[in-house]
Amino acid sequence: MKVLKKVGSILVDVLIVLVMLIALLVIVSSISARSNDGVGNVFGVTIFSVQSDSMSGTFEEGDVILGKVYNRRDVTLEEGDVITFWYYTSEGRIINTHRIVDVISDGVYQTQGDAESQPDEKTIATAQIIAYYDYDPETQKDDITVLPGLGKVIDFLKEPAGFLIFIILPLLALTAYEVYNFVQNLKAYRQEKKEILAQEQAKDKFDSLTEEQKQELFKKYMEEQQKQQQGNDQQ
């Protein structure tokens, strides 16, 4: 029973850490987005939820991709690199992630989705680029961290209802559990301390007795033990 209780306590602690980490990531990302044109990042890492299947085969709709914040002074983009950028339409601007299929000139790129048959209608300028993902032409592999299927979860967590249900309420419940645990441990500690104090007081009292008094106590103790043994034998 004690083992199960200990395992349960460890699992709850792990759950607390996970919930707090997710909450921290969402909060930091949301705060940074306010000061970064609506695009959040955590320590230089961008978090995007894939909204279409235009890059199917590399990552899918509903996935989460982790990119690196783009800075023109530090990064030279090449054909084959995947980038996330602002794309302007008649209805406004959207965030899109496609592959560079041609470098038109310094700071101007032609992009295309891996699952698309035609390149994007408009070229992309450096000022539109938000994040990038390296591509190694020798191995023909992308350096993209993909978290399959977590996009819908992240999208929901960013909504007020999702944040309340999956972050705030679990945190409150886990905090209440930890407070209860603390109170129970405090009670147990005080009880143990009380018992130790009582034992020390009894020992001090016994040590202060004379030899005759000690022998008398021992004699009474032995008599009590004999009576108890006789009672057990009769049963």
10 Å Cβ neighbour count for 154? 19
**Parent domain of 221:** 173-234
pLDDT at 209: 74
CATH number of the domain where residue 147 is located: 2.10.109.10
Contacts of 216 (CB under 8 A, 6+ apart): none
pLDDT at 115: 94
In a domain, 166, yes or no: no
Is residue 82 located within the same domain as residue 139? Answer: yes
State both tokens at 98: 């496609």
Q: Which amino acid is at 218?
A: F
Asked if residues 84 and 96 have their Cβ atoms less than 8 Å apart, the reply is yes
Asked if residues 80 and 137 have their Cβ atoms less than 8 Å apart, the reply is yes
- Give me the tens of pLDDT residue by residue for the chain, a chain 235 residues long: 566 767 777 777 777 777 677 667 766 666 666 666 667 777 788 888 898 999 999 999 999 899 898 988 888 899 999 999 999 888 888 899 999 999 998 899 999 999 999 999 999 999 999 999 977 777 778 878 888 887 877 777 777 787 777 777 877 887 888 888 889 888 988 988 888 888 888 787 777 877 777 777 777 877 777 777 776 666 6
DSSP structure class, residue 43: T
Q: Which amino acid is at 234?
A: Q
In a domain, 31, yes or no: no
10 Å Cβ neighbour count for 128? 18
Contacts of 47 (CB under 8 A, 6+ apart): 25, 29, 40, 41, 64, 66, 154
Is residue 124 located within the same domain as residue 197? Answer: no
Is residue 101 located within the same domain as residue 179? Answer: no
Is residue 102 located within the same domain as residue 200? Answer: no
In a domain, 159, yes or no: no
In a domain, 58, yes or no: yes
pLDDT at 34: 64
Is residue 63 located within the same domain as residue 135? Answer: yes
